[in-house]
């Protein structure tokens, strides 16, 4: 404490500082953290999945489980072999089949973590158990920080993170590009290494995007909307898709081009600017309490008019 500053003055300054922090526009801080159009790290890696090349052999699924030492999920095979019905705590990567009703169109689709440039799961995690690798851009999970709140599951627009409900010390399970098992050893992820047709390939994000655009230019009209899903969707991802059918039919939602955390914090900033949101909520609650109190007093007065004062306990 500086000389001449009394306890009363220190308390006053602390109160002013706290109030200023509380009412300062939230968007000032959040805008610096979440950009509307986030940029990929220079060394960002990724995957390109071309649904028109995939044969549905599911070699990528077996390789994923082998590299990540995950048990087989035989829910879809009656206990005979690895055949999960969807992504779950035993399945980080799955090939699914889409069949259009009455149209005869079909397509395989590979589902896994999209490794968003600005991930909503990372933004939603209260203890930074999920983080984005600053060099490669991989979204990683740290079990020493996780409290199992599952906010990441709620925040993810692609519904990717899964929780180990059957474990006493559960983990969050999602694709991490095999960063520990493969990337740090200079190898590619298990799924891309096992794909026999090259339907899914691994590399630098900018190189994969260029390859996707080259395929579109080489075959006009082959791919849906002649565009790459993930280039700008949800602010951009590090997993790209090419498909001949609408992306939403493959379970890839239409999310716009803004970063999801940027959009969420923008809404919060408007809601809490100058504490307007909490004040409005407080006002509504106060009106409700006051109305109920008046109603209660009216009933009491009517009861007393008929039978006198109520008996005291």
Give, as one character, the DSSP assignment of residue 224. G
Report whether 143 contacts 129 (CB < 8 A): yes
Look at residue 240 and tell me whether its pLDDT is greater than 80. Answer: yes
- How is residue 197 written in tokens? 């047709």
Residue 58 has pLDDT above 70, yes or no: yes
The Cα 192–Cα 63 span in angstroms is: 9
* Residue with the two structure tokens 């953290």: 33
Average pLDDT value for residue range 267-283: 69
What local confidence, expressed as pLDDT, does residue 1 receive?
41
Residue 293: band (very low, low, confident or very high) from pLDDT cuts 50, 70, 90: confident
**pLDDT value at 188 more than 80:** yes
Average pLDDT, the chain: 86
Q: In the block, which residue shows the tokens 């379970």?
A: 251
Contacts (Cβ under 8 Å, ≥6 apart) of 100: 106, 245, 249
Which has the higher per-residue pLDDT, 17 or 98?
98
Split at pLDDT 50, 70, 90, the class of 272 is low
What does the pLDDT look like over 105-159, one tens digit per residue?
Answer: 899 999 999 999 999 999 999 999 999 999 999 999 999 999 999 999 999 999 9
Kindly tell me if the per-residue pLDDT of 305 is higher than 90: no
> Which residues face 95 on adjacent strands?
110
Looking at residue 256, its pLDDT comes to: 93
pLDDT at 3: 42
Share of the chain above pLDDT 90, in %: 66
Per-residue pLDDT tens over the stretch 6-48: 545 544 544 444 444 444 444 444 444 788 889 999 999 999 9
pLDDT, greater one: 97 or 302:
97
Specify the pTM.
Answer: 0.77
Helix axes 276-307, 260-272, angle to 10 degrees: 50
What pLDDT band is residue 274 in, cutting at 50, 70 and 90?
low
**Does 66 score more than 70 pLDDT?**
yes
Identify the pLDDT of residue 21: 44
State the Cα–Cα distance between residues 209 and 227, nearest whole angstrom.
Answer: 10
**DSSP 3-state of 111:** strand
Question: Tell me, what's the pLDDT at 12?
Answer: 53
């Amino acid at each position: 404490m500086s000389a001449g500053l009394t306890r009363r003055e220190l308390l006053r300054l602390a109160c002013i500082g706290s109030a200023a922090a509380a009412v300062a526009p939230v968007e000032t801080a959040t805008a610096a953290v979440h950009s509307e159009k986030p940029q990929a790290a220079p060394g960002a890696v990724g995957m390109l999945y071309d649904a028109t090349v995939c044969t549905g052999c599911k070699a990528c699924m077996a390789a994923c489980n082998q590299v990540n030492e995950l048990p087989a999920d035989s829910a879809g095979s009656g206990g005979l072999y690895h055949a999960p019905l969807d992504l779950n705590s035993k399945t980080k990567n799955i090939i699914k089949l889409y069949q259009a009703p009455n149209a005869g169109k079909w397509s395989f689709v590979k589902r896994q973590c999209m490794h968003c440039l600005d991930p909503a799961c990372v933004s939603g995690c209260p203890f930074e158990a999920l983080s984005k690798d600053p060099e490669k851009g991989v979204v990683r999970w740290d079990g020493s920080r996780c409290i199992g709140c599952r906010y990441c599951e709620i925040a993810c627009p692609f519904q990717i993170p899964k929780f180990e409900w059957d474990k006493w010390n559960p983990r969050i399970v999602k694709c991490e590009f095999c960063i520990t098992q493969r990337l740090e050893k200079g190898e590619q992820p298990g799924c891309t290494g096992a794909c026999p047709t090259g339907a899914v390939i691994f590399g630098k994000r900018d190189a994969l995007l260029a390859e996707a655009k080259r395929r579109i230019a080489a075959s006009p009209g082959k791919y849906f909307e002649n565009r790459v899903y993930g280039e700008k969707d949800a602010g951009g991802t590090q997993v790209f898709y090419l498909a001949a059918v609408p992306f939403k039919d493959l379970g890839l939602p239409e999310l716009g081009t803004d970063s999801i955390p940027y959009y969420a914090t923008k809404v919060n900033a408007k809601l809490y600017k100058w504490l307007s949101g909490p004040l409005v909520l407080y006002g509504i609650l106060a009106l409700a309490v006051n109305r109920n109190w008046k109603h209660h007093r009216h009933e009491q007065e009517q009861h007393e008019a008929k039978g006198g004062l109520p008996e005291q306990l």
